[in-house]
Chain A
Amino acid sequence: MSHAAAATFPIRRSYAGHIAAGARRALAVVAVVAALVGLYELYRFIWSSTGWTHPFIVDDTSMPHVWVILHALWQPAQVNQPALGTILFHKSLFTAKEAAVGFALGAVVGFAIGIVLAHSRLLVRGFLPYIVASQTIPILAIAPMVVVWVNPKLPPSLQGWGSVAVIAAYLTFFPVAINTLRGLQSADPRALELMRTYAASRWTVLWKLRVPASMPFVFSALRIAATASVVGAIIGELPSGLQSGLGGAILNFNQYYSIEPQELWATNIVAAILGIVFFVVVAAAEKAIVRRAPENVA
């Protein structure tokens, strides 16, 4: 193997190296979380002992102690019910289902839009402004209308959460479309010339050259889309009256906030974990796919 090739091969970490890097990262996360918790409690302590009311009053209702919030996860929310943590877990699974379906749907649609637009500058100039503008429409406002419109069209098993998945897809398709377009346009002009010398058809050029070249962009968008799908699912649940998801839990516990504030906080923590899990799964999937086909990465 020539020296030049050795220099460009990615460094392969040993198994132990991976574990060490992972441990360092986990430690950093723990440190940051601990620091944030510390800051939260410190703020709470300072504000409640001095009695400052600006920017807002600090007491057990507005800022429950961190351990009270965590403790709430182990307690039942209502009499004779399972622990809050268990309930929230099942609700997050429900929301996750909506988000996952929305993610898949939005990703496919976004990818397709990107491919179509990449073939015609005219189409780009004609439609791109509206695709961008679509994201300025507050979906929370349209959500009830989407629900009323989509639900009757779905088979009974998909009704309810299906329309929320559509709303999640609405937030997901945009980053995927934009980045797919950029990625497809990023193919090396010399490689395109080469394909022309092979008299390759447009289809071949698309799948053999442009799509692989667009992968880094697409994956970067998928990470954003993962987050967007969870946000879309939660927002979509709000006006649709669905009790089974995290959105419903937020609305529900919001009503009881003055009595049991820690339940809403606990729901927030579960929602945060859901969002991060989605993101990490997509990022890990990207690493796994990219590692198996290093020659496809730019």
Chain B
Amino acid sequence: MSAARTVREWAPALVVFVLGIALWQGAIAAFDIQQFLLPKPSDIVRSCWDQRHTLWPAGWYTFKEALGGFAVGSIAGMAAATVISRFRTLGAALMPIAVAANAIPIIAFAPILNNWFNPLSPSSKIAMAAVLCFLPVMVNTMRGLQSANPRQIELMRSYAASGFSIWRQVRVPTALPFVFTSLKVASVLAMIAAIVGEYFGGSYDALGVLIRSKAQILDFETAWAGILVASVLGITLYLAVAAAERLVVRWAPETRDS
């Protein structure tokens, strides 16, 4: 994208951002009601800076949990989908069940995970994030593998191509856009899962625990600063996946250049 187009693309968001912050700052100052609940942006930023030696390492700690869970869950999901898709009837039968299973609030499982693993260790949070990422990635990978153009399959059969060739040359590339869509969803879920996991017990090095303890002692500025850090890290992971998508899936209509 040319520089001019990039600017035009992002200018409105920037304008909204500036206006939003200004409005927020002004409203808090003018009404002075919820100071203790929702601090001024300037206070939050100041707290972010003042507390940076605790906030950012905590964020990094939680981010590693989320990243680990994201990696484990996504890879497991893709592997499971690959295996299941080999057997067409199995895949077709399991798909609606997997979709319904996605409706289970896995969050409720967090305390049990904390009991399995030492609550202070990151393992339970990694497991939580992995479990949360597994199903969406598996369902979408399955959908992608099953959505190959039948004409392309026919073409490969006319070449007497092996089953593996067909899988590698047709099914996998067709599935990639689907896989990346689910990876983007999973990236956001991973961070949230890590923080929910920490709510039920976690090391003091963790961001979720930090936010909670600051809120409990009514240090809302730092609590919000922590929330800001969590949000920034979540967005970063999402953008990283989106960037990977642009590199790998260059042909999908959304990522085409021309």
Contact = CB atoms under 8 A, between A and B. Distances in A.
Interface stretch (B75-83, B100-108, B165-173): B100-108
Given A32-B97, A136-B234, A238-B199, A130 B105 contact: no
Contact of B115 (A125, A227, A257): A257
B238 interface: yes
A135 B37 contact: no
B112 interface: yes
A213 interface: no
Contacts of B230: 136-138, 141
Interface in B179-208: 188, 191-192, 195-196, 199-200, 208
B13 to A, nearest CB: 5
A106 B192 CA distance: 19
A129 B15 CA distance: 12
Interface residues of A, number: 56
B231 interface: yes
Contacts of A25: 96
A142 B34 CA distance: 14
A139 B188 CA distance: 12
A126 B115 contact: no
A140 B100 contact: no
B94 A32 contact: yes
A145 B37 contact: yes
Main secondary structure of the interface of B (DSSP, over half): helix
A135 B103 CA distance: 18
Interface residues of B, number: 51
B16 interface: yes
A126 B13 CA distance: 4
Nearest to A278: B103
B37 A136 contact: no
A268 B13 contact: no
Interface stretch (A9-17, A37-45, A189-197, A269-277): A269-277
A254 interface: yes
A141 B109 CA distance: 18
B9 interface: yes
A149 B90 CA distance: 50
5 contacts: A25-B96, A138-B231, A140-B208, A231-B107, A239-B199
Interface of B: 9-13, 15-17, 20, 34, 37-38, 93-94, 96-97, 100-105, 107-109, 111-112, 115-117, 123, 188, 191-192, 195-196, 199-200, 208, 211-212, 215, 220, 223, 226-227, 230-231, 234-235, 238
